[in-house]
Chain A
Amino acid sequence: VDETIRLGLVSPMSGPNARYGAFSLHGAELAVKEINDAGGIDGRKIEIFSADSQGTPVEGVSATRRLIDQDKVNYIIGDVSSSVTLAMQPVAEDAGVLLLNAASSNPKITYGAGVGGYKWTFRNYPTDENRALIVAKYAAEQRGFTKFAVLSVDSDYGRSAITFTKKYLPDFKGEIVSEDYYKEGEVDFRSVLAKIRDNGAQAIIMYGLADTTPIIARQMLELGLAGKVTLIGNGEFNTEKTIKSAPKVLEGAVEAAAWLPAFDSPESKAFVEKFTAAYNEAPNNHAYVHWDTVHLLAQAIKEAGSPDQAKVRDALSKIKYKSAVGEVTFDDHNQARLPMILLQIEDGKPSIKGAYAADIQYPAN
């Protein structure tokens, strides 16, 4: 009998989001290696099967099917992009394969999971709602901002984060003065930044892509926004590379992330070290969440006492998993109760201001 545990990973290995795919795979592979080196789960080794979603739903579904039908995987982790995950859900459901999401933040995914419908979907990642709330709260209460300009990526992630920002901002007397979304790969932000310069916004709410942040920061510098307008939101503000691109602009930036390399816990530090040793580059958030999710799955299998999917599912819903950022449990929508980490750039270094979890208000069906 085949004793290995077959784990599928769906991620964007090609296309504009390929970078996320690479980090995800590396993170997951590192975890698998750690587990296998430690003797596996009750003696069973994990084997990982990677499939490319190209960041598009149809390819994501194809990839999922192939993992299920050809590679006969028992578990799937994926995808990064919410649109793809949403499309994968029914496929996993039909096949009765456990789908663990590690990086998509669109709330809809767990609105429709657990008691919401899809019994086989779990998410080990905080939602946009949570993120939007704590950023808005911090910006208003700690920094005293009231006028905000939106400049986010034009995707379900960027757009839904703003949707929730709008939901909570009135609670903090905040006001949005302009709203713009950029396409992946956009490089020219001068027009919008000039508008923001003139409309009196104190902060730019940016739920964006890591690679765009330096461009925007540079152009803010060019337009003389450094020190006048602050970046808040999410978009790898905290990495050395980003800060180096325009230190003056990023000073004071506020970010909420599921994880960041500077997070101060022994597990986290150890992960950063191992990852850097293995791949010669510092991990990012996506590497971490995939690494973490594999470990979470391993613990669930261990607690279930067998790789049987139904048992593992039950184990997951009852699990108390100690992650690098705190204890993880799942609610009845199979959504992990996870903290978001809030940080601010001070003196060119990220400084952590706290970790906040928030209960999700599920829409009444």
Chain B
Amino acid sequence: MSLTEVSQSQQRRDLRLPLGVLLLLAALCAPFVASTYVVHALIIALIFMLPAHGLNLLVGYTGLLSLAQAAFFGIGAYASGLLAVTYGTPFYVNVAAAGLAAGAIALPLGIPALRLRSTSFVMCTLGFVIIGQAIAKNWISLTRGDMGLSSIPKPHFALGPLSFTVSGTTAFYYLALTVGILATLAVWMIVRSPAGRNMIAIRENETLAESVGIPTWRYKLIVFMLSAVFAGVGGSLYAHYLTVVSPLTFQMYYSTTMLIIVLGGGAGTISGVVFGSLLFVGLTEALRVTPELRMIAYGLCLLVLVFWFRKGFAPVINRLWDSIGSAK
């Protein structure tokens, strides 16, 4: 029995590996075949995928429904925007600083917030976004308020004598793709490890998890911070891509978009998040017919999602993937 199992899975891997390579190749070739506009949409999708990955760790794996992602996204965007504009620090410093800043701010926010359960926690996290926006608007000496920060430089790498500026859409696409793949790998490693299993245990039943020795409090806090780091990095890329940051970066709308990516893609699955960010960013672009009809369609999509794909699209993708794998 165990023998057949092994050979079966090998057979599967044989078929899925080339397909995976193919998909990767497709991703690499995208800028050469797709129009600049599609590439731009892909970049936005890749940028939103980062906070979504973080949110997935929080919602999908640890079971904490949070709307705070936009706050950390905004913190990341402002952190790198301010560094770049005022100190002219290089890109990779900004990205790292954005991630760290978001993670560090998540600590004092998470300590009180994580004591709350379910709905109170959701509302508290929503509060972070709203208060974040108020700070961005009113702490004018730091953030320049509504005027926002503009002319954030394009990512620039300098290694000794080598220097390179990521200026065009194509170049930025590769940058976003690289970061996206790295983040996906990082999430994959986390969730497959025993730590990932512990997170799932917390999602399923916190008290039970606690009783088998899982330090749930510390886990929740660390995952909360981790999700903020992902969001911060996303925010940093966003700032460098759009070259402007304004208080509108702190938007409940972004938080819900990220949540929809995760839930619609399939909470607790990595493929779901990847697919979700492509679909839901792609979808908003595709639906650009007339604005109201588009929003109505978007709303109806959400209802369809809730009624017919309660687990998001991930189960569908996985079934497809499996059927590809087991096809001869």
Contacts and interface: CB of A to CB of B under 8 A. Distances in A.
Are A and B close enough to touch in the complex, i.e. CB under 8 Å? yes
Interface of A: 13-14, 18, 51-52, 54, 56-58, 61-62, 65-66, 68-70, 83, 86-87, 89-90, 94, 106, 108, 112, 117, 154-156, 158-160
A90 B243 contact: yes
Contact of A58 (B137, B146, B242): B242
Contact of A155 (B35, B146, B253): B146
**Closest 8 pairs between A and B when the two form their complex, measured CB to CB:** A14-B291, A69-B37, A156-B146, A69-B36, A87-B244, A13-B291, A65-B40, A83-B246
Nearest to A117: B151
Interface of B: 35-38, 40-41, 44, 137, 145-148, 150-151, 167-169, 238, 242-244, 246, 248, 251, 253, 285, 288, 290-292, 294-295
Given A106-B147, A108-B147, A159-B146, 15 more contacts: A14-B294, A52-B288, A54-B291, A62-B44, A65-B37, A66-B37, A69-B35, A69-B36, A83-B148, A87-B244, A87-B246, A117-B151, A154-B146, A156-B147, A159-B147
Specify which of A65, A66, A68, A159 lies most central, judged by the most chain B CB atoms within 10 Å of its CB.
A65
A73 B73 CA distance: 32
Contacts of B38: 69
B147 A62 contact: no
A89 B242 CA distance: 10
Nearest to B40: A65
A62 to B, nearest CB: 7
Contact of B150 (A13, A66, A68, A108): A108
Task: Determine the main DSSP class of B at the interface with A.
Answer: helix
Nearest to B39: A69
A154 B44 CA distance: 27
Contacts of A54: 291
Given A65-B36, A86-B244, A112-B151, A14 B295 contact: yes
A56 B295 CA distance: 15
* Centre residue among A62, A70, A158 by max chain B CB count within 10 A: A62
A57 B291 contact: no
B171 to A, nearest CB: 11
Contact of A14 (B35, B246, B292): B292
A205 B148 CA distance: 23
B150 A86 contact: yes
A158 B246 CA distance: 15
Name the residue in B44, B137, B244 with the highest tally of chain A Cβ atoms < 10 Å from its Cβ. B244
B292 A83 contact: no
18 contacts: A14-B292, A14-B294, A57-B248, A61-B242, A69-B40, A83-B146, A83-B244, A83-B248, A87-B244, A87-B246, A90-B243, A94-B167, A94-B168, A108-B147, A156-B148, A159-B147, A160-B146, A160-B147
Contacts of A65: 36-37, 40
A18 B291 contact: yes
A335 B1 CA distance: 78
> What secondary structure prevails in chain A residues at the interface with B?
helix
A142 B40 CA distance: 53
A14 B289 CA distance: 12
Nearest to A65: B40
Nearest to A56: B248
B40 to A, nearest CB: 4
B146 A57 contact: no
A156 B145 CA distance: 8
A159 B151 CA distance: 20
B315 to A, nearest CB: 30
Contact of B251 (A18, A56, A154): A56
Nearest to B47: A58
B37 A87 contact: no
Nearest to B137: A154
Nearest to B248: A56
Contacts of A94: 167-169
A13 B44 CA distance: 21
A90 B251 CA distance: 23
Nearest to B146: A156
A87 B242 contact: yes
B292 A62 contact: no
A57 B246 contact: yes
A52 B295 CA distance: 12
A66 B285 CA distance: 9
A349 B164 CA distance: 61
A52 B243 contact: no
A337 B253 CA distance: 38
Contacts of A108: 147, 150
Nearest to A59: B284
A90 B240 CA distance: 11
A36 to B, nearest CB: 23
A41 B167 CA distance: 35
Contacts of B146: 83, 154-156, 158-160
Nearest to B140: A159
Contacts of B242: 57-58, 61, 87
A51 to B, nearest CB: 7
Contact of B291 (A52, A87, A90): A52
A104 to B, nearest CB: 12
Contacts of B288: 51-52, 66
A59 to B, nearest CB: 9
Contacts of A112: 150-151
A62 B244 contact: no
User: By CB atoms of chain A within 10 A, which of B137, B167, B168 has the most?
Assistant: B137
Nearest to A61: B242
A132 B248 CA distance: 25
